[in-house]
Amino acid sequence: DTGVSQNPRHKITKRGQNVTFRCDPISEHNRLYWYRQTLGQGPEFLTYFQNEAQLEKSRLLSDRFSAERPKGSFSTLEIQRTEQGDSAMYLCASSSTWTGNTGELFFGEGSRLTVL
């Protein structure tokens, strides 16, 4: 297994454009988390999935943000009408709650968004 994979690694876009990030978790990991991190800060929770179900979405997330995990495997995070304040590193993590697994978190390398 190659671990958690995120792409693109870096996205530069103009304000007002839509962007989409993809996360491929470790196979058979049923939990998938999206976080946002800005410079000097710890990761900030955005949303998470148990299989294909989105269990919680942060109140910090405006309606411009949407996430999906249609088949319980990969997930996408879309930001519509991007604003400069959306510039951040978007991190994905996965874990498994199946019996015999530790529940340890595995993180992707992140997708860095720069909104001009």
Partner 1 sequence: KNEVEQSPQNLTAQEGEFITINCSYSVGISALHWLQQHPGGGIVSLFMLSSGKKKHGRLIATINIQEKHSSLHITASHPRDSAVYICAVENRDDKIIFGKGTRLHILP
Smallest distance from partner 1 to CB 103, Å = 6
Alpha-carbon gap, residue 23 to 65, rounded angstroms: 15
Binding of partner 1 by 113 (CB under 8 A): no
Choose one: 12-20, 21-29, 68-76, 102-110; the region binding partner 1 (CB under 8 A).
102-110
Which 37-96 positions form the footprint of partner 1 (CB under 8 A)? Answer: 41-45, 48, 50, 55-56, 91, 93
Alpha-carbon gap, residue 105 to 116, rounded angstroms: 32
Token pair in block for residue 35: 């976080």
Locate tokens 């958690």: which residue?
4
Write the DSSP symbol of residue 61.
-
Q: Total binding residues for partner 1 by CB under 8 A?
A: 24
